[in-house]
A and B are shown apart, each in its own frame.
Chain A
C-alpha cells in the first residue's frame, strides 16, 4: 500500500475476513489500518476509493451508490468513512437511501480536529493539511492545481488564506518539516497542531463494537 496508489486507485483489502465493511477515502487508509491494528478490529475490512476524489467530489456519491449494494451481501453491515467532503449533502442523502451510516461533519479536517472543536475554531483563512496530504503534497495539491507548471497562479488560489495548519495524526519531525516547507511554498504562515485521529477513532470504535 503506497500513497500514490491510494491517491489514484484506492484500496481493496484482500483478506475479506470481516463482518463489517468500511468504505473510505484513500487519504484515510493508513489511519484506519493503524486504528484497526491498535484496536484488534480484525472483523473490519477496508475498501478505499481514490484519495484524489477530494478534487472531484461528484465522483464519490455514484461510487458509493454502486459499491454498497454490490458488497452488501458479503457483510453484516457497511460503514462509509467519509464526511460530507464537498458533496453538498448528497452523500448523506445517498447513505440514508442505502441505509448505511457515515461520519458526521464537513470533511476530514473537521473530524480529525473533532467536529465540535473544529466548528468552534473560526479559522476561515486557514488551509489544512493532514499527514496524508503533507506526504502527498506535490501529487495531491501542487500538481493538480497546476502550480508546477504555472507558479503565478498561486496567489489566485491562496491569496485569501493567511496560514497553513498541519493537523498531525502522528508525531513525525520529518512530516513537520515538510509541512512547514509546504506553507513556505504557498506563501502562508505555518502552524502545527497535533490532532491524533480525533473523531475518526471514536466513530470507528463504535462501529467496531
Chain B
C-alpha cells in the first residue's frame, strides 16, 4: 500500500498512473513495484506500463532536477524506484516485444570511477526503448573499441566527472577518426564539468547536460540517421 490512506489496487488506471508518478517523485521503491504489478495484472502491456507510468514519472523528476527543485539525492531515490519497476518489466518486455529505438554503448572514461550520471542515462535510455550495453567505469580506448566492434551500436556514450579525465574523450574520438570509424557512430558526451564548447572541440556529436537531454538528443540523432538512410 502506498501509505495509510491510499490503497493502490483501489485506484482507477488513470489515478494509479498519477499516483505512481508521485511515488516515483518520492522515491518509493516498494510502491512502484506494487503499482507495476497492478497495471500488469490489469492487462496493461509492459511497454505502456514502462512509458506511461515510469518514464513519464521520471521525466517530471528530470525536469524538476533541471529547474533546481529537486537535487541529486532525490533523483537517485527516484532512479532506484524506477530501476525496481524496470526489473519487473524487463523480462516481460523481452517476451512481449517493444519498439526498439536503437543501441547504445556507454561507459565512464579511463581514470574516472564516477558513474551516477552514466547510470541514470543508461536507465533512461533503456526506458526510452534503447538497448544499452553498459561498460561500467574506467574504460580505456581499447575497451570502447572492442565493445563497438562487438555490439555494433548506433550510439557511443562517454561520461566523466573530473576535469582531469574528460580530455580522454578526445583520445577515444581521435582513435575512431584514425581508424575511419568515427562516422559509424553517434557520439554523445556528458558529465558535470563538460559543456557544449568542449563537446564541439573534441569532435563529439552532442553534449548532454542530463539524462533527459541525452534521451531526446539520442532520439533526434537516430531519427536523422533513419531519414538519411531513407533518402
Q: Which residues of A contact B (CB under 8 A)?
A: 57, 84, 86-90, 106-107, 124-125, 144-147, 149-150, 153, 156-157, 160-161
Q: By the criterion CB–CB under 8 Å, are B72 and A88 in contact?
A: no
Number of interface residues of B (CB under 8 A): 25
* Contact residue among A124, A150, A153, A157 (Cβ-Cβ distance under 8 Å from B112): A124
Q: Which B residues, 44 to 80, have Cβ-Cβ distances below 8 Å to chain A?
A: 71-74, 76-77, 80
Question: What is the CA–CA distance of A89 and B166 in the complex, to the nearest angstrom?
Answer: 11
Give the secondary structure class of B's interface. loop
Smallest Cβ distance from B119 to chain A, in angstroms?
Answer: 8
Q: Is B116 in contact with A156, judged by CB distance below 8 angstroms?
A: yes
On whether A88 and B114 interact (CB within 8 A), knowing A146-B74, A156-B76, the answer reads no
Q: Which residues of B contact A (CB under 8 A)?
A: 27, 71-74, 76-77, 80, 111-116, 137-138, 162-164, 166, 192-195, 198
Contacts A57-B192, A88-B195 given; does A125 touch B113 at CB 8 Å: yes
* With A153-B73, A156-B76, A160-B137: A90-B195 Cβ-Cβ less than 8 Å: yes
Minimum-distance CB pairs A-B, first 8: A146-B73, A88-B193, A160-B113, A84-B163, A106-B163, A106-B164, A86-B193, A153-B76
Contact residue among A89, A144, A145, A156 (Cβ-Cβ distance under 8 Å from B198): A89
Report the bound CA distance from A149 to B71 in whole Å: 13
B198 touches A160 (CB 8 A): no
- A161 near B113 with CB under 8 A, answer yes
Given known contacts A86-B193, A88-B194, A124 and B113 CB-to-CB distance under 8 angstroms: yes
Q: Give the distance to chain A from B17, nearest Cβ to Cβ, in Å.
A: 25
**With contacts A88-B193, A156-B116, A157-B116 known, what are 6 further pairs, Cβ within 8 A?**
A87-B163, A87-B193, A89-B198, A106-B162, A107-B163, A156-B76
Report the separation of the CA atoms of residues A169 and B80 in the bound assembly, to the nearest whole angstrom. 38
Alpha-carbon separation in the docked complex, A170 to B114 (Å): 29
A180 to B214, CA, bound (A): 39
Residues of B within 8 A of A124 (CB): 111-113, 138
Whether the Cβ atoms of B193 and A57 lie closer than 8 Å is yes
* Bound form: Cα–Cα A124–B114 in Å: 10
Cβ-defined contact, A160 with B115, below 8 A: yes
> Bound state CA distance, A160 and B113, in angstroms?
6
Residue with the greatest number of chain B CB neighbours at <10 A, chosen from A87, A88, A144: A88
